[in-house]
Amino acid sequence: MIRNQTAEAVAALRPKAAAQYLGMGESTLWRLAKDDPKFPKGRKITPRLTVFVRTELDDYLASLSRVAA
């Protein structure tokens, strides 16, 4: 868990779990994080650990469904 600006616990997913959550491969997750400006950026917890915030991933998915509708 990481904390947001109001010190609430936030669900954080490691890249493998985030990719599974989104139904894609890990390499696709990293490509989107690098190339898609609307895709949520990972948060560096340590130099070797990056996580993705689940609510930001949900918002990204919602924005895709709004565009498709």
Domain ranges of the chain: 2-68
Query: Cα dist. 51→9, 14, 65 in Å?
Result: 14, 5, 24
Read off the DSSP letter of residue 25.
-
**pTM (2 d.p.):** 0.81
Q: Is 48 helix (H, G, I), strand (E, B) or coil?
A: coil
The answer to whether 45 and 51 have CB atoms below 8 angstroms apart is yes
User: Quick one: fold of 2-68?
Assistant: Arc Repressor Mutant, subunit A (1.10.10)
pLDDT, tens digit, 9 for 90 and up, residues 9-62? 779 999 999 999 999 999 999 999 999 999 999 999 999 999 999 999 999 999
HSE-CB at 51 with a 13 A cutoff on CA atoms is 13
